[in-house]
Chain A
């Protein structure tokens, strides 16, 4: 078990965005989290990276307890790569430097080594010809693939994807999902918040449906998508499918 979330509560001004959620993920598992907007799926993901504080419960990742006030939180975050809906590439750096930077200052890799790794990863996401471009010169799909390469460059044990295709034009969604499928095949542990039900069905080992901060349904894609037990799951799927 690489992720162990026990009864966490994350509140914003007394409103619980994540309300008593427990979740265990094994190494190599791909878990897709679906649910209506505002249901708390992104917040849950952000808690795993200590981008949001939890008020109750605990999160243990690879044996370490996650706590944003903890001094070693930077070390623990290294093990968890995150890709955001809005890419959050560094606009003042080229693609290569975006991928290199954290390797250099955090992993303390030499320039040559970092560049070699970056080139490898950028090749893998199909952006070899863009290494010297700035983020402003890329399409949304290309930006998101750079963001994935940037996160992978830190050799994370877990990858978190927070609605990574939601800000993309429809014709660019495929290229990003393709990279994610490849990652899943290679055995990366992945937590994916997504609205792409088709992707979830194809790639996920497990699907979780969250509504109003609570897990309302959990199971294999067949169980959740084809034979939902909960009324709210049926309503949600009725809208999106």
Chain B
């Protein structure tokens, strides 16, 4: 009984220690995800433009960034690029995770766009709309609904992979866990708690995604009565 109380005490101490930096994990993942969204949308659309060079460029971006381990990217951005143009840990870390996830997001956006029936393009074009107008008013609004579930999953993955930036000294959840474990030699309890906090974050996101999916999947497709 005493042992259990003691353990719970330790765990709650660790929890309070970690919860003070959890906002950094959230900030890093949200910023990285925003970059990923922008890169993804841009390169996803670029992948299917008529301009051969832009298409090639987008393909190269996607293949290179998907083909290199994220950890290596983080090292490259912080130790490599960071030394040359003087990047702060946070900027380097967020950029590395952001552009990496941008490559995955680009493929998700591309598949979302390609999933729309070609007849939609033809109808829009026959009304005199340009490619850009067609994309903006007809294709993308329909693609977004398809893209929501996989894009949200990428955010969950992004949140988990944000733990990798701990290696360049960004004090987020994983880094703080390492500090605590090293200081008090409480590895088992610390990593248990770190894992638990990540789990709480990802599970609440999963719930949120379900809500979003419902909201976006039905709206506008006319199956529902107003």
Q: Given contacts A90-B124, A91-B220, A102-B127, could you give 16 more A-B pairs where the C-beta distance is less than 8 Å?
A: A51-B125, A74-B128, A74-B130, A75-B128, A77-B126, A77-B128, A78-B127, A82-B126, A84-B119, A93-B220, A101-B137, A102-B129, A132-B226, A133-B222, A134-B222, A136-B221
Residues of B within 8 A of A (CB): 117, 119-120, 122-130, 133, 137-138, 141-142, 145, 220-223, 226
Contact B126 A106, beta carbon cutoff 8 Å: no
Contact B127 A154, beta carbon cutoff 8 Å: yes
A88 to B123, CA, bound (A): 6
For B145, the closest partner residue in chain A by CB is: A92
A77 to B124, CA, bound (A): 10
Contact A81 B126, beta carbon cutoff 8 Å: yes
A103 to B127, CA, bound (A): 9
CB distance from A12 to the nearest CB of B (A): 15
Specify which chain A residues have a CB less than 8 angstroms from the CB of B133 in the assembled complex: 105-106
Q: Could you write out 14 A-B pairs with CB less than 8 Å apart? A: A49-B125, A74-B128, A74-B130, A78-B128, A88-B120, A90-B138, A92-B141, A101-B127, A102-B127, A106-B129, A106-B133, A134-B221, A136-B221, A151-B127
Contact B122 A51, beta carbon cutoff 8 Å: yes
- Number of contacts between A and B (CB, 8 Å)? 77
Contact A51 B126, beta carbon cutoff 8 Å: yes
Specify which chain B residues have a CB less than 8 angstroms from the CB of A55 in the assembled complex: none
Q: Known: A77-B128, A106-B129. Contact between A90 and B123, CB under 8 A?
A: yes
Residues of A within 8 A of B (CB): 49, 51, 74-75, 77-78, 80-82, 84, 86, 88-93, 101-102, 105-106, 132-137, 147, 150-151, 154
CB distance from A101 to the nearest CB of B (A): 6
Q: Known: A105-B133, A135-B222. Contact between A84 and B128, CB under 8 A?
A: no
Specify which chain B residues have a CB less than 8 angstroms from the CB of A137 in the assembled complex: 222-223
A49 to B129, CA, bound (A): 13
A16 to B9, CA, bound (A): 81
